[in-house]
Amino acid sequence: MHWSKTLLVLVIFGGLAFAQQPGCDPGHPNAALDVNGMVPGPGSNDVDLGGAAAVGIHVDTALPSQEDVILILGTLGCGALPTPWGGSIDMSAGEVVADGFGLTTGTFLDYLAHTPFNLAISTNGINPPTPVLGTTQAIVTDPTNTPFSFRNTMAVRVTLGVAESIYVLGDDDFIQHTLVTAQPIEFCGATYTQFYINSNGFVTFNAGSGDFSESMPEFFDGWGNAPNPGVAVAWTDLNPGGLGSGATYAVQEQAGTFGNVRVEFRDQIHWSSNEPAGNFSVTFIGNAFSDTRIDLAGFLPATTATDDVIVGVTDGDSSVGNDTDLSDGMGTGISSVIGSYTSPMGAPDSVGELIPANVAPGFTTVLFFELGSSTANECRWSLLP
């Protein structure tokens, strides 16, 4: 455990014996902390600020008296440092940034660290390209908590820069997601503020689908709902346990003109063999025509499944343009043309591959790079690493 300042109040009681409580400290009304007016939901320590312009940390007490505050910033680690007054400091590493007790030689904030305590930090100009996690927790004096007269707030871990929505779905299910902070997605000549996450490993734009019987004709024709553009991230029969399977579906959105939208299929399960299917995702790249990246680095092929896997992008209408089937029976159709494939001129192009059951994809990630924004180039691709 690494601390850039010593919590002297803990050192004072360091010789006392106490039991470590399991998990994170739940906090108490007499030691309450929120970030931007939000507190974590049940069973969680996380608050998602998305693209918020500022981070506001607020510490208060239900007591009628003004109480002193130590504020700590660091990295979440539930139960890392049990405290003799109960609960724990839930950080594997941290720094004291405000100390109303007068036990450390801190900053000007030390003189202001009393309830109600407020600290505002601007985030202007720092919209990071990946989620940034930071945790804050406070110790507050509480004369009702004898014999030590202190309490810990809950540790609140903040996600900054990316707004994340998490869903659970039933077997052969889908849900419509509406963008929260990201700019509209452009795909095959149209822009969208909503799309469908389908539990069997694909994303569509005009309609959701519970289709579990993967085939290239259905892929090219919009999963039976043509026209229905979409992405087969790893389309196969998944999620046999439905809502209780443990599988989740997450959307991460970056705010701003160049913000990406990433759809993640987490902790998936092959339906026919009940084996783990791992994690995989698609990223719609912000302000870059229809550029789309499929990431199968965390995908786990089954060993005894009966379902094939389809990967690719489609305009969702087999009656127009080209339907390019790269299937080679070995799972190397896409990988063999990364860096060399370019769609034919003059028409939209749906590009995909059927990977046989129990065969690993020949690539970990592929970028479907759209050739331009003009009508002639909509839904035409180069395949890049």
- Summarize pLDDT for 237-263 with one digit per residue, the tens: 999 988 888 899 999 887 666 778 999
CB 88 within 8 A of CB 81: yes
Clarify whether residues 196 and 136 are in a common domain. Answer: no
CB 144 within 8 A of CB 63: yes
Clarify whether residues 221 and 145 are in a common domain. Answer: no
User: Which ranges constitute the DSSP H helices of 86-174?
Assistant: none
Clarify whether residues 152 and 168 are in a common domain. Answer: no
Clarify whether residues 156 and 178 are in a common domain. Answer: no
Clarify whether residues 149 and 38 are in a common domain. Answer: yes
7, 67, 148, 379 from 144: Cα distances, Å: 22, 12, 9, 66
String of DSSP letters for 200-234: TTEEESS------S--HHHHHTTTTTSS--EEEEE
Count up the domains in the chain and report the number: 2
Clarify whether residues 132 and 266 are in a common domain. Answer: no
Clarify whether residues 219 and 137 are in a common domain. Answer: no
Task: Give pLDDT tens digits for 143-199.
Answer: 999 999 999 999 998 877 677 788 999 999 999 999 977 889 999 989 999 999 999
Clarify whether residues 171 and 151 are in a common domain. Answer: no
Structure-token match 């180069």, residue found:
382
Nearest-Å Rg of the Cα atoms of the chain is 25
Domain around 272: 163-384
Clarify whether residues 56 and 184 are in a common domain. Answer: no
| 75, 77, 80, 84: CA torsion to nearest 10 | 80
pLDDT at 181: 72
Clarify whether residues 202 and 138 are in a common domain. Answer: no
The 8-class DSSP code of residue 12 comes to: H
CA dihedral sign, ordered 379, 381, 383, 385: negative
126, 131, 190 from 187: Cα distances, Å: 27, 24, 6
Q: Edge to edge, what strands does the sheet with 174-178 contain?
A: 174-178, 194-198, 202-204, 230-235, 309-314, 349-355, 322-325
CA dihedral sign, ordered 238, 243, 244, 249: positive
CB 367 within 8 A of CB 384: yes
pTM: 0.64
pLDDT tens, per residue, the chain with 385 residues = 334 444 434 433 332 323 323 479 999 999 999 999 999 887 778 887 766 778 899 999 999 999 999 999 988 888 899 999 999 999 888 888 888 887 776 667 788 899 999 999 877 655 454 556 689 999 999 999 999 999 999 999 887 767 778 899 999 999 999 997 788 999 998 999 999 999 999 999 999 999 999 999 999 999 999 999 999 999 999 999 888 888 999 998 876 667 789 999 999 999 999 999 999 999 999 876 789 999 999 999 999 999 999 999 999 999 999 999 999 999 999 999 999 999 998 889 999 999 999 999 999 999 999 987 666 668 999 999 9
Clarify whether residues 203 and 316 are in a common domain. Answer: yes
Last residue in a domain, options 136, 160, 184: 160
Last residue in a domain, options 120, 135, 160: 160
pLDDT at 133: 65
pLDDT at 288: 64
Last residue in a domain, options 160, 195, 212: 160
Clarify whether residues 6 and 71 are in a common domain. Answer: yes
The two beta strands, 309-314 and 349-355, are antiparallel
Q: How far apart are CA 123 and CA 380, in angstroms?
A: 38
